[in-house]
Amino acid sequence: MTTTMTAPASSPARVEQPPRRRRRRTRLPHLLLIPAVGTLLIGLGYPVTWQILNSFKEYGLAQQFGQPAEYVGFANYIALFTDGMFWTIALRSVAFMAATAAVTMVIGIAFALLMKVIPTWSRIVLQVAMLLAWAMPIVAQMTVANWLIDDRNGVLNHVLSLIPGVDLIGHDWLIDPLSFFGVALVIITWASVPFVAFSVYAGLTQVSEEVLEAGQLDGASAFQMLRLIIMPIIRPVLVILILLQLIWDLRVFAQIQLLQDFGAAGERYDLLGTYIYGLGIGQGQFGAAAAAAMVVMILTLAVSWGYVRRLLKEDEES
Amino acid sequence: MKRTFLRSAGAALALVLAAVWAFPVYWMVNSSFLTPATISKLEPTWVPFGGTLSNYRAVLADNAFTSALGMSLVVTAICLVLCLVYALLASFAIGRFRFRGRKTFVLAIIVVQMLPAEAMFIAQYKMLAGANLLNSVIGVSVIYLAMVVPFTTWMLRGFVAGIPVDLEEAAMIDGCTRMGAFRRVTFPLLAPGLVASGVFAFLQVWNEFALASIILTESQKATLPLWLRDFAQSSNLGVTEWGEVMAGSVLVAIPVIVFFMIVQGRMAQGLVGGAVKG
């Protein structure tokens, strides 16, 4: 369970009731919002404002020790964009996000289709197993993963070594960067497939039997049914799921940080989250870190904009 | 004939996949019952026959664990209570009224949920450092509240909208004030919504790692996720006591799994509910 969930739109009782326009103007709604707005202003508004301002300031170690931070225009951003390391890490993050989201979607959809054709008892077994994986807290996930891939006593190396000609006892999966991110991808996929599978399955149950029968009568093959009938019907669900997976796979600071804590650390193993952390908390370059954080923020908003619009529309309809 | 074969083959595949997906969780539980001597054998022990509870005893006797448990309970309790109150008020406002600034507020609570910790933790760290609130319950709670209130408000809004406004109006005709009608009529009907969104908020706060690792740097102030990380590492120097570490993981994960099961039905439907509806 990694993520900030975005709330259910469906209400328990499906009574659509447009809020009625009050005749008398009242201050009540504004008063009711005060605590929530106050919380957001303190916990997010103030820090984000600070961040925007400081991304335009010289704010390094000297400023930590009392020197005034001066405005330097876009210097932090220019320094960032001309730094090869930043580009490497930014592209790596985007590639990691795309790869993880793609693998998760493919496996999740396959699971959902499988759940649709198998007998109920076996579907329930699979669902329970997936719920267990889904429910695991990130720290527990990463800790267990680290035990599974432990170089000497880990069960993964033992099982792989049973294959004739393979000897992986003592192999450390976290040293080679590619292997490091492969491990991260597998763990994150393992944890996110259940959500995709359950959601797609819920979408599949909306596809009516009549439509499928009609397709069968017209002589559609199984693959044609999938591509021409089922996929278009569940397309809205798939679009939302891809967006959510992309957003979530961009914010994998906790997983990468924990994997670095257990294994090797350094820029070769960084994604944007850990890079910003190192820049700010590690090196005290708060101006540069603020600029990098702004880039992540804008990237996230760009990816999530479709989902935001969909939720806004939902709000207007209710 | 072909169909039955496909179904049984599918069922067999599903069982294999279920085993793969459940395996890490099983392995965590299995290892937590094994003695250090058993666990350090090269040959894995697949079933914890003749297992021991000593790993659990060791974890429960660890002062750092008890302290982290206390910290997690306090932070979660504060955040949960305040979050539900704030979000309930706000959801009533946006679920029942049209007013100036409503759209801005709704947009804000949606956008805020998209922002990753990565994009803000430096700024939040600096703010708390400036206010001398690093390593404090108040500091971390302020940040967590801002993290969970938007989502909880959005979720409760759906429940508020699902309760017919006529019920409140009837109560008002019978002489209730607007708040009175809300308190006596709508609030009791909202109870299931409060439970569900409360569990979601609980899971988020209880599991949170990224911000905690930055704000709560002192080990006495660690929450459970931080404790587990430190616990797994402290033994990293020489030989990791994987049995104890796995017992710790089980203790951290159990409450989460239990609460998760309560809300799992809403989890899948909720996030894409609007999309299914089309």
Cβ separation A40–B108 shorter than 8 A: yes
Average pLDDT over residues A243-252: 92
Residue A12: Cβ-neighbour burial (10 angstroms; 0-12, 13-18, 19+):
middle
Query: In this predicted structure, which of A6-20, A39-53, B50-64 has the lowest mean pLDDT?
Result: A6-20
- Complex prediction ipTM: 0.89
Give residue A47's pLDDT: 94
> With contacts defined as CB-CB under 8 Å, which chain A residues touch B164?
15, 17
Give residue B268's pLDDT: 57
The rounded radius of gyration (Å) of the Cα atoms in chain B is: 24
Query: Does a structural domain hold residue B139?
Result: yes
Give residue A24's pLDDT: 55
> With contacts defined as CB-CB under 8 Å, which chain A residues touch B158?
7-11, 318
Give residue B136's pLDDT: 95
Cβ separation B274–A314 shorter than 8 A: yes
Query: Does a structural domain hold residue A190?
Result: yes
Query: Does a structural domain hold residue A20?
Result: no
CA distance A63 to chain B (A): 13
Query: Does a structural domain hold residue B19?
Result: no
Among candidates B158, B192, B276 on the partner chain, residue whose Cβ is nearest the Cβ of A237: B276
Give residue A173's pLDDT: 93
Query: In this predicted structure, which of A163-177, A186-200, B256-270 has the lowest mean pLDDT?
Result: B256-270
Which of the two residues, B23 and B240, has the higher pLDDT score? Answer: B23
List pLDDT tens digits, range B171-217.
888 888 888 888 888 888 888 889 888 998 999 999 999 999 999 99
Cβ separation A47–B209 shorter than 8 A: no
| Per-residue DSSP letter, A71 | B
- Please give the share of chain A, as a percent, with pLDDT higher than 90: 57
- Residue B101 backbone class (left: φ over 0; alpha: ψ -120 to 50; beta: rest): left
Query: Does a structural domain hold residue A155?
Result: yes
Range of the domain at A126: 84-317
Average pLDDT over residues B122-135: 94
> With contacts defined as CB-CB under 8 Å, which chain A residues touch B143?
43
CATH at A234? 1.10.3720.10
> With contacts defined as CB-CB under 8 Å, which chain B residues touch A254?
117, 209-210, 213
CATH at B216? 1.10.3720.10
Number of domains in chain A: 1
Give residue B271's pLDDT: 54
Closest CA to B216 of B229, B204, B203: B229
Which of the two residues, B6 and B74, has the higher pLDDT score? Answer: B74
Query: Does a structural domain hold residue B31?
Result: no
Cβ separation B158–A7 shorter than 8 A: yes
pLDDT over 70 at B237, yes or no = no
Mutate one of A16, A61, A76, A139 to test the B interface: name it (highest B CB count within 10 A): A139
What pTM was computed for the model? 0.89
Query: Does a structural domain hold residue A53?
Result: no
Among candidates A43, A147, A206 on the partner chain, residue whose Cβ is nearest the Cβ of B276: A206
Range of the domain at B106: 63-234
Among candidates A20, A32, A307 on the partner chain, residue whose Cβ is nearest the Cβ of B89: A32
Query: Does a structural domain hold residue A71?
Result: no
Query: In this predicted structure, which of A40-49, B91-100, B231-240 has the lowest mean pLDDT?
Result: B231-240
Among candidates A6, A122, A150 on the partner chain, residue whose Cβ is nearest the Cβ of B113: A6
Average pLDDT over residues B37-55: 85
Query: Does a structural domain hold residue B37?
Result: no
Query: Does a structural domain hold residue B153?
Result: yes
Cβ separation A21–B123 shorter than 8 A: no
List, as one string, the DSSP characters of B62-126.
-HHHHHHHHHHHHHHHHHHHHHHHHHHHHHHHHHH---TTHHHHHHHHHHHHH--GGGTHHHHHH
> With contacts defined as CB-CB under 8 Å, which chain B residues touch A20?
165
Query: Does a structural domain hold residue B73?
Result: yes
pLDDT over 80 at A22, yes or no = no
Among candidates B14, B42, B277 on the partner chain, residue whose Cβ is nearest the Cβ of A118: B14
> With contacts defined as CB-CB under 8 Å, which chain A residues touch B109?
36, 40
Mean pLDDT (chain A) is 88
User: Which residue is closest to A21 within chain B, CA to CA?
Assistant: B98
Q: CA B218, B222, B228, B231 torsion: positive or negative?
A: positive
Cβ separation A300–B206 shorter than 8 A: no
Query: Does a structural domain hold residue A39?
Result: no
Among candidates A36, A54, A254 on the partner chain, residue whose Cβ is nearest the Cβ of B149: A36
Residues 58 through 97 of chain A touching chain B, CB cutoff 8 Å: none
Which of the two residues, A225 and B26, has the higher pLDDT score? Answer: B26
Mean pLDDT (chain B) is 88
User: Which residue is closest to B127 within chain A, CA to CA?
Assistant: A47
pLDDT over 70 at A159, yes or no = yes
Number of domains in chain B: 1
> With contacts defined as CB-CB under 8 Å, which chain B residues touch A309?
none
What is the C-alpha separation between B278 and B275, in angstroms, rounded? Answer: 5
**pLDDT confidence tier of residue A52, bands split at 50, 70 and 90:** very high
Q: Does A289 touch chain B (CB under 8 A)?
A: yes
Q: How far is C-alpha B88 from the chain's CA centre?
A: 19
Residue A65: Cβ-neighbour burial (10 angstroms; 0-12, 13-18, 19+):
exposed
Query: Does a structural domain hold residue B99?
Result: yes
User: Which residue is closest to A272 within chain B, CA to CA?
Assistant: B118
CA distance B35 to chain A (A): 14
Cβ separation B163–A134 shorter than 8 A: no
Residue A61: Cβ-neighbour burial (10 angstroms; 0-12, 13-18, 19+):
exposed
User: Which residue is closest to A153 within chain B, CA to CA?
Assistant: B42
